[in-house]
Structure formats: C-alpha cells, structure tokens
Amino acid sequence: MPDNVLEQIKSAYFGDSNFKLYDHQKKAIEYIDSGKSVIVSVPTASGKSLIAYYGIMRALSMGGKAMYIAPLKALVSEKYQELKELMAGKYSVGISTGDYDSGTDIIGRYDVIVCTSEKADSMMHHDPDYFTNLNVLVVDEIHNTGDSSRGPTIEIICTAALHVNPEIQLIGLSATLKNIDEIGEWLNCEIVRSDFRPVPLKKYILFRGAILDEDSVEIGQVKNDITTVVEDTIEQGGQVLVFLNTRKRAEKFSADLATQLSHKVNTDIKAPSEDGSRYSEMLNQTMKHGVAFHHAGLNYSLREFIEENFKEKKLKVLTATPTLAAGINLPARTVIIRDLTRFSDGYSSYISNMEIEQMLGRAGRPKYDKFGESYIYCTSPGAVNKVRDFLENGVEPVMSNLCTEKNMGFNILALISTRLCPNMESMESFFRGTLYARQKGEEDLIAMSENIIRFLSDNDFINVNGNSFRATEFGIMTSNLYINPRTAYALTELLERENLTEEQAIYHICRTPDMVRLFASQNDMEAGYSFLSEIGESPEDDDDLNAAKTAMVIISWLNEVPISEIEGKFNVGYGDIEGKKATAEWICFAASRLAVKYRRQYTTFFDILSLRMREGIKQEIVSIVALPNIGRVRARRLFDSGFRSIREIAGATIPQLTSIKGFSDNLAAKTIEYSKELMKRNAID
C-alpha cells in the first residue's frame, strides 16, 4: 500500500504527518494491507477510527468502494463529516439515514457511504448484490450485535455481506468485546486487541463517603460524595459526565448541581425554544450555572445544542441517561455513574457490565487530559460487589438475539424476496452462517423458519412449490417497504375497512409490530378507555392501552397542540414525540403504497396523513408548509392571519407578512416570491 495514503490520513486526522501509530494500529493496518478482514477491540479514544479510515482510503485509492455503518444517526453524521474532511474532495462521501424504501443506486453515486445499520439492511432488502460492489465494510460498535433491538440487524448485514461477497474486507470496531475470538471466527477476521489507552483511566468506587480504588482499598474521604468530585474536577479545569437511570433523576440532579455551583459558574447560554417545549426553560435554569441534562425526551435540535456547548467547554457538567454513552463522542475528564440499577418489568436490577464499561469509557479527553477519572457510586455492599465483579471479570460476551419471531419473519421474507434464499436448503445454509448458529446451533432457527414460512405462505407473502419459495408482489412490496410482514398484514386488514377515520387509522398503526409504543400508566387509563370508546375500538390487553396512548400523542401532534401541552398531559418529551411520529409517518407511507394495489381510494388519505405526521399540522395548512422555511408554526400564523392559500400569500405585500410574528423582511420577500413561482408553474391552485 502506498505510504502517501497513511501520511495523508495522519496529516488530516491529527494535523501532523509525523504522528506515530500505536502498536495496535500498526498491527491492524498490516492485516488490512494483506487484504484480510480485522476486528479491533481497544478502549475508547485509542484510535480505532484511524484504522477504519485507512481501510476505506486504501480501497478507494485502488478504485474500490466502501461503506461505514454506525449505530446512531448522530454518530453517522459525525463520521460523515470526518470522512468528508479527510477525503478533501478527492473522493465522494454520501450519507444515508432515512427513506426506508429507497433503492441501492446510492452506491453508484458515491465512493463511500456512511449509514445506520437499518439503512444498510434496507439496501439489502432491495438488492443483496449491492454488497458485491463493496470492497470494504466497516461496522462500528460491533459489540451491538448482542443488543436485543439493533443486534439482529447487524448480524444479518454481516452474514448477508459475507454470503454474497466472501471477498469483502470487513473491519469491525469495538471498545468492549469479551468473546472477540468467537466473533472473529464467525466473520473470518483477524483479531487485534489491546488494553492501551493514550489517556489512562483511573477507576474508583464511592461508598459511604469513602473513595476506594480498584482493589477496594480506601484511599480517601469525600464530604459530599458526588458534589465534591464534581467541584474538584471543575476547579481543575475539567468537565464531568454524571449518568443516572431515569430522566427525572437526571433533571433533578442537574438542578441540584446547578444550585451547588451557582456561586462558582455563570454563563449566558440560552436554550433554543421550539414550539414551547417545557425542557427549554428547565435547561435555561441550570445552564446559567454550567450544568445541563441530556436524555431521549429532548428533541434532536436541543440535544445537539447541549452537545455542542459541552464540546466547546461552555457547559461544565452533563447529567445524562445511559443512552448518551452509546452516542456521539462526548468525553469528559471525569465520569460518574450515580445509578447502578434500572427498574424494568416490575423490578429493579443491576445494569450490565457492558453498559458500565461504555459509560466509563467516556472519561479522559485525548489532547486535553493526561488522565481520566471514573467513579461508581454504590449505596450498599451488594452494589460494591457488583462493581468488583465488573472490575475483575469485565464485560459480558456478545450473544446473538436473532431467533425471535419478529426478527426472523422480517428477515426471512427479505431473503426470499431478493432470491438470496429461494429454497429451504439455501435458507438453512444462510442461517448456518449466523452468529446464533455458531453459539446455539441452527435447530431453533430452522424450526422457527418453517413456522414463519407457513405464515408467509398462508397470507400471500410467498408461494411455496415443493421445497422452493418465491415472493409474491405483496411480499416484495412488504420487503422493499422495510416493514414487518405482520405490520403489512395488519395494514391490508385496515384497508378493507369502510369509512376509515383518521383516529382509527392512527390507532391501528400504533398497534403494529413496527411501532414501539409508549407506556400507559395508571394515570393514562381513563383517557385511554375513553379514546377507544370514541373510535369504536375495544382493548384486548394492556398493550392496546399503550397503543391508545401513543395514538393520542400523535393525534395531538397532528392537531397542532402545543408541545409543552402534549408533554405535560401525557408525561412525554419532545424527543418521544419526534420518535413516534417518525415511525407513524413511515408506516403511513407504507399504507399508502399498499393502498395503490389493494384499496386505491385510501392512497391519498394515507399520503396526506403521512405528510401531516412529518410536519405536525392540520390538513388546512398542508399546502402552506410546502413553502421553504415555513414550518408548522409559521404556516399556522399565516393561515390565522388570513393567508389561507398559496394564491393569497403570492398576493401579499412584504409589510403584511412582516407584521406576522417570525417573519423578517427577507423571509417575507422570499415567501412571496416562491409563492408566485408556484402560481406560474400552476403547481398550486
């Protein structure tokens, strides 16, 4: 491999072409240069990305193509920006995180694609031969193969890629892989592992006012436990991440710390207030003292705002739920795990060692800190024993979660519709290549496959002729739409209804397997039963009440109820609303495509509903939000001010629009101009 590629990466990535590679980087690059696949397991901030970028650049310099898969959209965006800077215009970089039904032509337009595992899987659903056009496949955070939700997707992608293209060079990255040898054998990868951290990490236990080292030896005392550690870190110029097990605890702890720090830290940071989310004002109260909370209840723009201010060191402390540990790169001098337990399924249990490792790995900022410090707060001798187990035994092995009805039905239909597995023999051969088969044998997979194939055949997804399978038009549509077969079946039943109402449609969309429903607490029951009665539905079990709550949240969003009112009434966050409406929009789109074939009169119904899901608007302002920079709030203000159509906006004057809140002279002029263009093209009546 020409040295200039490595020099280019070192110069661009580190600003210094004389930067010396770590031993694990040298070893991984040697494997890559020899054309071998490799799995790298080294601590956070030890230069794994350089290895991946080298593999990508090497492939591109030889005329090849590459894909980089990351688990979260935020991480995908981060890697996309880094790769764009690294390529410096020499190679093209594409990003793909949405459009579940889009095809695979993106690989022809770019040299390297950065995407989520779901997007890569969607491409596989369209055409598994896509992987034959790839030379390098990078799977970041490959330990997520053991995750119960996204793990099966990663497992299928890796299995399909190697099944279609055994010569593909796979580069797996992780900070925490206990059974790396087993994963390496599964993927035919060489192994690179190291405990080296360029920023050493010191680990401590906080227990009843004492600081214990990794050997449980007391080395000091703290007066106020966590508060003392936070204050000491800030005084030394560092930043702190505190992990708590619930949103409420993260919010309260943030407020408590802000009070404690009020005499030491003062800032002028102001959170953006979009649609009046209650969280903006809560954050403003804590951020003026350098503290913020971070969890999935915040909407995307607010989370991004907090992350950027933390990166710029304007914020000194973040209190967060563990989801942040799996997100983008937000290191701090000090990490504190306040809660070791999580309440789930009616009881409290300790979090996994894997989660502890992921959180602690955020301690120590390369280029800023000479060391990182992590503290695990323990409230009982049992908690201390839990931490000792973690320190002595490390993380749990990665175990496959592939063999569930939901995962298998989804994937088997894709394997049949793409002709990757046209018969039972090829199906069995494919599943023999999975991690599940390696760990637990293939018998359960085959038995479940037979049951699922029977369901798919009975419900017109596939035709079975002897031992051979072929997907029907319905089956191919379902696979391309990237929805669960049982979701597709439920949608076809919905399309058979006469006089289907908007509320009924949304409720049944929320009952599909593809919707992760909100939890209906005791306080939600009365409203849930009332809602179901109003739309003529009867709950079969508690999960139907969960679906009812989810539907009511989405309906409130569609009816332009203020975000703060939705948050308060249903005890949800703007981030929850964003997630549910995005899933509902996707399922609505799938319903509209299925309606083209099965009930054409409902096509427009679901098309409009899908658009309204995206924007959060009533139908009367659908045409107005088509204008650039006119979202749900400005569109409603235009409508309420008497501008109820594109024609009326085109005939407005600039002063008339600037009299409306949120419209500058420039925006008013552009809005009128674009409305006139639409009128000329007769695009809008």
Q: Which has the minimum average pLDDT: 9-13, 180-184, 225-229, 366-370?
A: 9-13
Decide if pLDDT at 99 tops 90.
Answer: no
Q: Measure the CA–CA gap between 678 and 657, rounded to whole angstroms.
A: 18
Higher local confidence (pLDDT), 368 or 359 = 359
Hey, how many other C-beta atoms are within 10 angstroms of the C-beta on 165?
19
Residue 685 included in any domain: no
For residue 662, give the DSSP letter: T
Are residues 598 and 646 located together in one domain of the fold? no
β-sheet bridge partners, residue 229: none
Are residues 109 and 189 located together in one domain of the fold? yes
Q: Which of 438, 460, 481 is the last residue of a domain?
A: 481
Q: Which positions ≥6 away from 84 have C-beta within 8 Å?
A: 93
Cα 482–chain centre separation: 16
Q: Which has the minimum average pLDDT: 1-15, 198-212, 437-451?
A: 1-15
Exposure string of 414-434, with b = 16+ CB inside 10 Å and e = fewer, is bbbbbebbbbbebbeebbebb
CATH no. for residue 473?
1.10.10.10
Are residues 668 and 610 located together in one domain of the fold? no
CATH no. for residue 669?
1.10.150.20
pLDDT of residue 264: 86
Residue 24 included in any domain: yes
Give the closest residue to 409 by CA, choosing from 487, 340, 470, 356. Answer: 487
Which amino acid appears at position 347 of this protein?
A: Y
Decide if pLDDT at 463 tops 70.
Answer: yes
Tokens of 18: 């004389």
CA of 494: how far to CAs of 280, 539, 601, in Å?
39, 16, 13
Are residues 587 and 600 located together in one domain of the fold? yes
SS3 342: strand
Are residues 19 and 154 located together in one domain of the fold? yes
Backbone phi, psi, residue 94, to 5°:
-115, 155
Residue 399 included in any domain: no
Decide if pLDDT at 425 tops 90.
Answer: yes
Are residues 513 and 425 located together in one domain of the fold? no
- pLDDT confidence band for 1 (50 / 70 / 90): very low
For 79-83, what is the mean pLDDT?
93
Q: Measure the CA–CA gap between 171 and 59, rounded to whole angstroms.
A: 12
Q: Can you state the percent helix, strand and coil of the chain, rounding each to 5?
A: 55, 15, 35
pLDDT of residue 98: 65
Q: Which positions ≥6 away from 74 have C-beta within 8 Å?
A: 303, 304, 307, 327, 328
pLDDT of residue 255: 96
Residue 120 included in any domain: yes
Q: Which has the minimum average pLDDT: 265-274, 310-319, 495-504, 626-635?
A: 265-274
Angle between helices 542-558 and 574-598 (to 10 degrees): 90
Higher local confidence (pLDDT), 190 or 214 = 190
For 100-124, what is the mean pLDDT?
80
Q: Measure the CA–CA gap between 496 and 508, rounded to whole angstroms.
A: 13
Are residues 353 and 427 located together in one domain of the fold? no
Q: Which pLDDT tens digit goes with each residue over 572-585? A: 999 999 999 999 99
β-sheet bridge partners, residue 190: 38
Residues in the chain: 685
Q: Which pLDDT tens digit goes with each residue over 3-37? A: 577 777 767 666 665 678 899 999 999 999 999 99
Which amino acid appears at position 623 of this protein?
A: S
Q: How many domains does the chain have?
A: 5
Q: Which pLDDT tens digit goes with each residue over 132-177? A: 989 999 999 999 999 988 999 999 999 999 999 999 999 999 988 9
Q: Measure the CA–CA gap between 90 and 86, rounded to whole angstroms.
A: 9
For 476-484, what is the mean pLDDT?
94
Domain holding 552, by residue range, is 485-616
Q: Which of 162, 193, 224 is the last residue of a domain?
A: 193
- pLDDT confidence band for 109 (50 / 70 / 90): confident
pLDDT of residue 429: 94
Quickly tell me which residue has 């007391």 as its tokens.
218
pLDDT of residue 560: 93
Residue 398 included in any domain: no
Q: Which pLDDT tens digit goes with each residue over 496-536? A: 999 999 999 999 999 999 999 999 999 999 999 999 999 99
Are residues 213 and 337 located together in one domain of the fold? yes
Q: Which of 432, 457, 481 is the last residue of a domain?
A: 481
Tokens of 535: 């739309």
Tokens of 275: 């649609």
Using left for φ > 0, alpha for ψ between -120 and 50, and beta otherwise, residue 208 falls in left
Decide if pLDDT at 102 tops 60.
Answer: no
Are residues 280 and 415 located together in one domain of the fold? no
Q: Which pLDDT tens digit goes with each residue over 320-355? A: 998 776 666 788 999 999 999 988 767 889 999 999
Give the closest residue to 183 by CA, choosing from 440, 435, 442. Answer: 435
Are residues 71 and 213 located together in one domain of the fold? no
CATH no. for residue 366?
3.40.50.300
pTM value is 0.91
Are residues 444 and 364 located together in one domain of the fold? no
Strands 38-41 and 169-174: parallel
Question: What mean pLDDT is reported for the chain?
Answer: 91
Exposure string of 500-519, with b = 16+ CB inside 10 Å and e = fewer, is beebbbbbbbbbbbbbebbe
Residue 350 included in any domain: yes
Helical H segments across 535-664, by residue range: 542-558, 563-570, 574-598, 603-615, 632-640, 646-650, 654-658
SS3 204: strand
Decide if pLDDT at 286 tops 70.
Answer: yes
Are residues 187 and 317 located together in one domain of the fold? no
Q: Which has the minimum average pLDDT: 258-267, 435-444, 491-500, 673-682?
A: 673-682
